[in-house]
Structures are given as structure tokens and as C-alpha cells.
Structure 1
Amino acid sequence: MARIESAPLDLVVAVCQGIDVCFAGLKLSTVPPPWQEYSEDYDAVDSSGFEFKLRSLANDVTRELDAGFNKNLEIWNAQVKEFGASVAGRAPSLPSDIFFEHICAEVEDDLGTEYVWIGGEMASVDAPWEATWIYSPAPPEDAEHLVLKFVVDGLETGHSCTIDLRS
């Protein structure tokens, strides 16, 4: 069973656009997303992966963005009812969709494994301020530590999480 060995006390690993982002969990084995096979980085031999979750903390910024989204969604719904979906166009994007594009992690372990970001999921109606990032490969069985160094817009945040992989 993996456990967090070191992390910021409050688990806040990044601040982006005035919003705190927390490390919210890790799943060491996951099925890579179906679109992975179309990626330049796809390796059919090693299709294992792992995922971790990020969650934004609600604050005045997120509430303001959510209010703007809800207003735009109401306008869009009214246009769909009045003119039809083809005229109304696409529904507005959740504000966190664009927000999470700025955040990633550099991943390393004690064996020097090369990890590649292969996809994930950002924001859903059920979890609008959460993201799940998927990296490949899954950590090797003999790896003892996994380190996630968080990055915003290409700059390290100075925050990381070290996961003890030993059982």
C-alpha cells in the first residue's frame, strides 16, 4: 500500500490565477485512456499507467468564475430553447477546464523511470474543480519512491509529494 511520505502540510501543491490547488489522491494502476493509442508518445508494449487527482479549493475567485459560468449557461440554454442547438452552438466550458491546462507535474522515481503524461480528465459537472492526470508507465514493482513535482505554466511551484511505494 502506497503512502504519502512527504507533502505540503495542507497538500496545496500549486497556486494558479489566485486559486489553491491540492494533491487529492493517487491510483498506482490504471487503464490508460482509449485515445492514448493515437498519441505520439504511445508505447503499445507498455500500456500501463497511474493517475493522480488535483482539487482546487473554493474561494472568491472560484465562486466568481462559477457565477459567470452559470450566467453563460443560462443564456446558452435560453438560446437552445429559442433557436435550437445548431444555432446556439456549443455549451460554455467549465471555467476550470482552462484553469487546469496550466498545471502539470514532473514525475520521477528512484530507478530513473521516464514517465510521460498521456491524458486525463478535467472538470465535470459532478466535480467541476477537479482534474485527474494519467502518466505512463505505472511505477515498476521495485521502485521505492515516486516524486511528483508540480509545475504551473512551465515553472516549478517548489512543492512536491513523495510517495513511499514499499508495502
Structure 2
Amino acid sequence: MTTIVRAPGNLIVATIGKVDVRLAGIDVTKAPQHVDVPSGTPCVVVYLSAARGYETVSHDAEIAQTRSLEDLAAEAVEAQKDGPPKLSNLSRVGITITDDQSTRYEPSGFRMIGDGIGWDDMRVYTPAPPSHAVMLHLDFTVDGDSTGRSCDVDPTAR
């Protein structure tokens, strides 16, 4: 368990179009299955979630209207398979993690979480912070451009 020390009061760290993206959590833990590092690898996991509202519902409705019965059937079959999703609506959000020990954190995979429509992400970064790191700093981007929003996290409650 980590402690968020500083973050935007509403936890909104990015905006894609008119959809606000919130920091839903951060944890120092072990990597789940189906990411780019072996399951159980010590890592940092960052959770993002879109603020559900008119924009996300409208987007989902537009996508649903373009799907044929065959597409829906194929998606149902694909959803039964184990493994990572094809696309996340939040994939344009980037996260850079740094700490007070100059550790280099690398993106090591992601998974969509929640109901599978792409508005909730779990991002995995390796390595885990060294035991003597006292602060993680997260900077957020959309399409590579800074959002001007960041947060600091105390990773010591491991």
C-alpha cells in the first residue's frame, strides 16, 4: 500500500477530448499475468479511470452502433480468451515515474480493467522502487504533451 502525498484535489491527471482521466490508485506490488515481465516481478502499478459521463457514454454508443452482429459475436469469443485487451481508450495518456534515487522506471505492460470497454487501465512499471526510495513522482502526458498535472507518492508503506 502506498500513500498519495500530493495530487490534484479531484485526482484528474489528464483530459482526452472532453473526458477527464483520474488517478485511481498506485501500488508497489508484483506484476500480474500477461504483461511484458514475468508474473510476480516486483513493480509499480498505476490505475487510471475515466470519469464516466456524457462523453464516455456517447463514445460507447457510437462504437456500439457501428458493430454488426458478427462483430459482437467475434468480440464475445475474443473476450473469453485469456490475455491483454486490444485497445484502451486511455492509451493516449502517458506516465513518467521518477524517484529520489534516480531509478529508471520502464513501462512493462498494461491491462484494461473493469467492464472491458476501455475506460479503466492498469499500467505496470518496473523495477519496483528501491527500499531506500522515499518518494515517487508521477508526471502525466496526453499524446506526449504534458498535462501540467503530477503527483507524489510515498512508496514506503510496502
TM range (shorter): 0.7 to 0.9
SS across alignment from 1:36: coil
Q: Gapped runs of 5+ residues in structure 2?
A: 80-85
| 1:113 aligned to which of 103, 110, 116 | 103
TM-score normalized with structure 2 length = 0.80
Question: 1:29-108 to 2 correspondence within 5 Å?
Answer: 29-31=29-31, 33-36=33-36, 47-73=41-67, 75-77=68-70, 97-108=87-98
Distance across 2 between alignment mates of 1:25 and 1:162:
12
| Identical counterparts, % of pairs | 29
Give the structure 1 partner of residue 82 of structure 2.
Answer: none
Q: Is residue 22 of structure 2 the alignment partner of residue 22 of structure 1?
A: yes
Distance across 2 between alignment mates of 1:79 and 1:4:
40
1:19 Cα deviation after fit: 0.6
Q: For residue 18 of structure 2, what is the amino acid of its counterpart?
A: G
Give the structure 2 partner of residue 149 of structure 1.
Answer: 139
TM-score normalized with structure 1 length = 0.76
Q: For residue 4 of structure 1, what is the amino acid of its counterpart?
A: I
Name whichever structure is richer in helix by fraction: 1
Q: Could you say if the C-alpha distance between residues 34 and 97 of structure 1 is closer, same or farther in structure 2, counting changes exceeding 3 Å?
A: closer
- RMSD across aligned positions (CA): 2.8
**Contact 2:88–2:119 (Cα < 8 Å) also in 1:** no
Q: Could you say if the C-alpha distance between residues 127 and 26 of structure 1 is closer, same or farther in structure 2, counting changes exceeding 3 Å?
A: farther
Q: Could you say if the C-alpha distance between residues 108 and 78 of structure 1 is closer, same or farther in structure 2, counting changes exceeding 3 Å?
A: closer
1:118 Cα deviation after fit: 0.9
Distance across 2 between alignment mates of 1:63 and 1:79:
18
Give the structure 1 partner of residue 83 of structure 2.
Answer: none
